[in-house]
Structure 1
Amino acid sequence: MRSPPPEVVASWPRPNYVNPETRGPDLIVAGVITLVFAVVCLVLRMYVRLRIMRKTELDDWVMVVATFFSVAATISIILAFDRFGWKYHVWDLTLAKLISGRQASFATQAFFIPATLLCKISILLSYLRLAPQNSMFRRLSLIAPWIVGATTAIFWIVLFTECKPISSYWNLTRTAHDCLDETPILFAYAISSVFFDFFVWALPIPTIYRANLPLHQRLAIIALFSVGLFVVVAAAIRIYYLDIVLRETYDVTWEGTHLWQWVAVESNLGIICGCVPWLKMLVKSWWGKRAGGTAGGSGGASGSGAARIGPNPDGVQTIGSKGAVFRMDTLGRVPTGGREKGPYMDLESCYDVSEVETRPG
C-alpha cells in the first residue's frame, strides 16, 4: 500500500466514521454467485467421476484442493468488504480498519495464488487423457505443470518474504517498513497469470480440431473448452484495475473494490471452466434415464441418425452410420490426424462417443 504524501492527505475530506459513503453490493453479488457456481460444478464433476464413471484421477483431486483455496479467497474478500472497510473511502477508515484490511489483502493473496495454480495444473493433467502418445500436445501437457508451478510458487514465496518481519505488510504504525516494492511483483504475477491462462486454453485446440470427427462436432468440443477464455478475460480486467490501485489512486479501498471483485470472479471461473467439460456427460446420463431405455436396453444408440458401435476382428471398434465409419479403440478413443491407427484422442472426458453423428459416405 502506497503512503500518500502530505498534500494528498490534506486534500481529503474530513473523516466520516458514523455514516460514510458506501459502495454497492456488486462485489458480494459477483463473489457469491461465482462461488456457488464453482462449488456446484465441482460437486457435479465429482458425481460424474465417482457415480457414473466410477473412477477418479489425480486431476480431479487437484481441482478439489483448488476449490478449497478459491472458497477461502472469496470468503476473505467478502469479509474484508463487509467488515474491514473495503467498501469505504480510505479517509473514512480508522487505523484499526486499515490494518485489518491489509491483513485481509495478505490472506486473500495467500489463498488466491494456490487456487489459480492448482486449477491450471488440474486442467493440464486432464489433457493427458486427450493427448495422443508422442505428440507435442502430450509433451507440453507434461512439462507445463512444472513450469507453471515453479513460476507461481516463486510469487507465493515472495508474498511471505517481501516484508521483514511479515507483520510490516499490514502494520502501518511502523516508522520504517522493511518491505520490497510490491508494484512490480504484483504486475509480474498478473501478467504471467494471463499468459498461462491463455496457454492452458489454447493448448488442446489444434489437436481437437485435427480429430477424426465431423467438423461441427470438433467445433462443438472446441466451444466447450473455450469457456476458458472467460478466465483469460477476467485476468486481463484484473490487470486494468490493478494498475489503477497501484499507480493512479491513493483511495485504495474505494477503487480496489473492482480489483477484488475480479480476483474473486477469476478464481471461481477457473474452477467452473475446469469442470464444465464433465457436465455434458452428466446431462447425457440424466437424459438417457429419462428416455427409459429407448436404445433397446443395449446401452448403445439406435435410430437412423445415431452412431453404431461394433467390434472388429483386430480389437478396434468402428463407429458408423449412413455409410461412414470412424475407428475407435476399446477405450473409446477416436484417432487424430486422419490416421486409421493411433495415436488416439480420449473423448470420454469431453464428449459422449455415443452421440457421434457421422456424415454420409
Structure 2
Amino acid sequence: MASSELQLPPGLAPDLEYNQLQVGTTIAFAVTYFFCTLFLLLRYLQAFKLVKEIELDLVFLTMSYAAGLVYFVTILKLMTHGWGRHVVEINQTDMFNLNKILLPNTITYLTTPGITKLAMLFILFKINPAILYRILVVVIGLCILGYTVTLSAITGGPCNPNLGLESLTCLQNVALSHAVLNIASDLAVIALPIPTIFSLNFSLRTKLTVCLMLALGSMVVVCSIARLPYVIALQDDPDFTYTQAILGIWSVVEVNLGIFCGCAMRLKPLFVKYLPGLKLFSSKQQQTKTIAGTWTSSTKELHGTDPRKVQHTYQLHSVQKGSVDPIMSEEDEGGIRVQHEYDIHSDRGRSSRLDELDGGGGTKW
C-alpha cells in the first residue's frame, strides 16, 4: 500500500503537536526512568555510606543511565520531525531531518543494553569461583561486547541513514539482528546464576526474593521479545515512522528496566541496614549465628569469660537429669555434660559466595 493511500486514524490532525502515541512514549520513559534514578541514587548512597567504594558495575550502570537519557532526548528530537506520526503527515524536509537524528538514536539504543548487561556480568562473575562458571561469564561478556561494537560500526558505516532512503533497508537488517542477539544475551545473563543460587542453603524467604529478582530480569526479555514483531514489520511497512514509535515504547521500557535490575542486584546491604523489618534476606546461616550468639552471651555472663577471646572452651558441670539443653550440650552415661564453646567467624566458603552481591557490607547471604 502506497504511503499516499494510508488512512489517518479518527481524531488525528496533521497540525497536532503531540499525538497519543508520542505522549504514551514520554509517559513510559518518565515512569521507568524515575525508578532508575531512585535506585541508582540508592546505589550511590550504599557506595558512600556502607561499601565505601565505587565499584565497576556501578560505573557501567551510570554510563547506561546517561546513555538512556541521551536516547530519549534523540526520541524527542525525532518527534518534532515526524517520529510517531504517519508518513502522509511528513514532508521532505522533516524526513531528511528525521534520518539525520536516526543515526545517534540507533547507536545509543544499540549500546545501552550492552553496557547494562556487562555491569550485571561484573556482579555475577564474583558469586562463584568455579573456573567453568567464570569462563562462561567472560565468554558471554565478550559476545555482548562483540556484537554491540560490530552492529554500531555497521550502523555508522554502510547503514548510515544519512546516506539516503536506500540505507533504511540495511538499518532495518541491523535492527533485526540486534533484536535476536539481544534476546539471546538476555536469556544467557538471567540463566547463568540460577544453578549457583539454588544450590545454596537459603531459607524459603531468601529463595523467593531471588526468584523475584530473576522475574524482574525476565521482564527485560519480555520487552525484547515484544519488540521483535515490530522490528520484523519494519521490513515492508510503508508507514515506518509510526511503527518506529510503537517499537520505541518497548525500547525505552527495556533500557530503563535493565538499569533498574542492575541497580537492584546490589542493594541488599542497604535494605538489611535500614529496612531490617522486611527480612528479605534471612537465611538458615543467619538463624544459626543468632542462636550461637545468644548462647555465648549467656556463657560469658555465667562464667565471666569473654568467648570472643577463646577458640575452644571445654567445661564440665554436674547436671540434674532433664536439665540439659539438647541444642547446646551432649550428655554421656556418667551424667557429665561437655559443653563446646566456639567463636563465630565469617565463612567465605561455598555457602557465602553470594556475599559479593552485598558490595562488602551488611548481613551476609
* TM-score calculated relative to the size of structure 1: 0.75
Taking a change above 3 Å as real, the CA distance of residues 104 and 40 of structure 1, as seen in their structure-2 partners, is farther
Who is 2:34 aligned against?
A: 36
Who is 2:157 aligned against?
A: 161
Larger Rg: 2
Who is 1:124 aligned against?
A: 121
The gaps in structure 1 that reach 5 residues or longer are: 1-6, 290-300, 315-321, 337-343, 357-361
State the distance in 2 between where 1:273 and 1:328 align: 34
Conserved? CA contact 2:3–2:239, under 8 Å: no
Taking a change above 3 Å as real, the CA distance of residues 34 and 241 of structure 1, as seen in their structure-2 partners, is same
Conserved? CA contact 1:116–1:267, under 8 Å: yes
1:275 to 251, 263, 268: 263
2:2 to 4, 8, 26: 8
In the TM superposition, what whole-angstrom CA distance separates every residue of 1:102-137 from its partner, at most 9, and x where no partner exists?
223222111112211111111001112211x23432
AA partner of residue 285 (structure 1): K
Who is 2:249 aligned against?
A: 261
2:350 to 328, 335, 340: 335
Q: Percent identity at matched positions?
A: 19
Tell me how far 1:41 sits from its aligned partner: 1.5
State the distance in 1 between where 2:147 and 2:2 align: 37
In the TM superposition, what whole-angstrom CA distance separates every residue of 1:43-85 from its partner, at most 9, and x where no partner exists?
211221222111232222111112111111122223323x222
Who is 2:54 aligned against?
A: 56
State the distance in 1 between where 2:239 and 2:58 align: 41
Tell me how far 1:313 sits from its aligned partner: 4.8
Tell me how far 1:350 sits from its aligned partner: 5.1
1:245 aligns to 2:268 (yes or no)? no
State the distance in 1 between where 2:364 and 2:270 align: 13
Who is 1:139 aligned against?
A: 135
Taking a change above 3 Å as real, the CA distance of residues 50 and 143 of structure 1, as seen in their structure-2 partners, is farther
Taking a change above 3 Å as real, the CA distance of residues 160 and 215 of structure 1, as seen in their structure-2 partners, is same
Listed as ranges, the matches of 1:1-361 within 5 Å are 8-12=2-6, 17-19=14-16, 22-24=19-21, 25-81=23-79, 83-131=80-128, 133-163=129-159, 167-168=162-163, 171=164, 177=166, 181-247=170-236, 249-287=237-275, 306=290, 313=311, 330=346, 333=348, 335-336=350-351, 344-349=352-357, 354=363
Match of 2:267, SS?
helix
Conserved? CA contact 1:48–1:278, under 8 Å: no
Conserved? CA contact 1:20–1:88, under 8 Å: no
Taking a change above 3 Å as real, the CA distance of residues 328 and 120 of structure 1, as seen in their structure-2 partners, is farther
State the distance in 2 between where 1:127 and 1:20 align: 45
Taking a change above 3 Å as real, the CA distance of residues 11 and 179 of structure 1, as seen in their structure-2 partners, is closer
Conserved? CA contact 1:20–1:92, under 8 Å: no
Tell me how far 1:234 sits from its aligned partner: 0.6
The gaps in structure 2 that reach 5 residues or longer are: 278-284, 297-307, 313-326, 329-342
Conserved? CA contact 1:225–1:277, under 8 Å: no
AA partner of residue 228 (structure 1): G
State the distance in 2 between where 1:29 and 1:306 align: 47
AA partner of residue 279 (structure 1): L
Tell me how far 1:100 sits from its aligned partner: 2.2
Taking a change above 3 Å as real, the CA distance of residues 333 and 232 of structure 1, as seen in their structure-2 partners, is farther
State the distance in 1 between where 2:132 and 2:344 align: 22
State the distance in 1 between where 2:73 and 2:18 align: 23
Conserved? CA contact 1:211–1:218, under 8 Å: no
Tell me how far 1:334 sits from its aligned partner: 5.2
In the TM superposition, what whole-angstrom CA distance separates every residue of 1:257-311 from its partner, at most 9, and x where no partner exists?
210111111111110010112334323222359xxxxxxxxxxx99999565698
AA partner of residue 162 (structure 2): S
State the distance in 1 between where 2:62 and 2:136 align: 23
Q: How many residues get paired?
A: 312
AA partner of residue 72 (structure 1): V
Match of 1:47, SS?
helix
State the distance in 1 between where 2:39 and 2:212 align: 18
Who is 1:359 aligned against?
A: none
